[in-house]
Amino acid sequence: MAAASFGVLCRKVLTGLKVSRSLLSPQALASTGLLHTTLSTKGLEEFFDDPKNWGEEKVKSGASWTCQQLRNKSNEDLHKLWYVLLKERNMLLTLEQEAKRQSLPMPSPERLEKVIDSMDALDKVVQEREDALRLLQTGQEKARPGAWRRDIFGRIIWYIVSAVVFPR
């Protein structure tokens, strides 16, 4: 009886493994609605610029995102845009290091500045939203009540303001 139930259990595990293997293929993972990734077939090529831009001195690029444009976006769109900009920045930093290694000028270095400016603007918009939400929920402008002060040893520490009244 125990051997038969063990055999049934093993067959169920094996069929489950066959199903999970088919779900782990790059095409199946990329097509699922719950998991958004790039195909694993791309690999390290994501850290390098498009091959048609190799050797070019000027590469056409758009303008950086402004705070006003980003304020009109939803939180989900801002989250996706942050990771797109992060991948682009990593790619451009890789390109910059490779250009330094080969003692060549980086093609269109202003692209990196545009990405950094866009990320700074996006961070500013997210911080504005967090501040507005905190002000609405708690009535406090700062994230943590307190201030930077020097202690008796001269170290700078975060002093937490307490609401306790000390008697005189």
Task: Find the DSSP H helices in 24-74.
Answer: 26-31, 67-71
pLDDT of residue 69: 95
Q: What per-residue confidence (pLDDT) applies to 130?
A: 92
Domain count, the chain: 1
Q: Does residue 164 sit within a domain?
A: no
Residues ≥6 apart with Cβ < 8 Å to 109: 96
Point out the residues of the chain with pLDDT beneath 70.
1-42, 44, 47-57, 165-166, 168
| Residue 18 is assigned to a structural domain of this protein | no
Residue 69 lies in a domain: yes
For position 19, what pLDDT does the model report? Answer: 47
159 part of a folded domain: no
Average pLDDT over the chain reads: 77
- Domain with 133, as residue range(s), is 43-141
Q: How far is CA 15 from CA 4, 8, 9, 31, in A?
A: 17, 11, 10, 22
